[in-house]
Amino acid sequence: MSHSSVLIAPSILSADMAYLARDLERIHTADLIHFDTMDGHFTKNLTFGPDVLRAVKRVSDIPVDVHMMVSDPDTMADWYVDAGADIITIHLEASVHLNRTIQHLKKRGVRAGVVLNPATPVLLLEDIIEDLDIVLLMSVNPGFGGQSFIPNTLSKIRSLKSLCQAHNVAPLIEVDGGISAANAEEVARAGANVLVAGSAVFSSSDPAAEIVRLRELGSRAYQGVCA
């Protein structure tokens, strides 16, 4: 990734599961595939297990970003590493042994990060920020696609950016929920450089072109942050 570029990670939560291989081809311009795994406990929804990840890896060479919305990520993360995950993010709210699990994932060769729910403050990352490859900020409450972006996320991104600067680290800053062409610029301008987009991409008549559009909008705004 160049210093001033923004990565687009379409969420297959919004794909048509009956035609997953087709929908993966339709997002061939993506930088990452965002893979939401939910266990029915941490969120009131049940989504993709490791076998679905293996299927994705068989038909796409785009790196997969596994977002673990599960009650026991300390145990379950290895399932997804074994299935081919490239990035794994786990919720601070769910992990009992966060530092240990992050270190374990990095030893296993994946990029590892932490997710914060909308009501979880950035300051809770103070003692682990230097160990993270990526931080994912939820801009909706997790569980379902198609929700509206929570405006306070913009100030939260800026707080995270300040925390990173104070520690002289530069993890990827990812934002998930309600991202579209209408807000991609302001989200990137606040300091995010990975944008998760589900409905905005898969409901488009040309998902591949919509990804390019979102990347251009975000990267143009993010260049001002890097200048």
Residues annotated as catalytic are: 36, 176
- Could you give phi then psi for residue 203, rounded to 5 degrees? -90, -5
Q: Which residues pair with 174 in a beta bridge?
A: 136, 194
| Sheet with 7-10, side-by-side order of all strands | 7-10, 194-197, 172-176, 134-138, 111-116, 87-91, 64-69, 33-38
Structure tokens at 81: 């590493």
Instruction: Report whether 191 contacts 223 (CB < 8 A).
Output: no
Instruction: Report whether 133 contacts 172 (CB < 8 A).
Output: yes
Q: Where are the beta strands (DSSP E) in 93-177?
A: 111-116, 134-138, 172-176
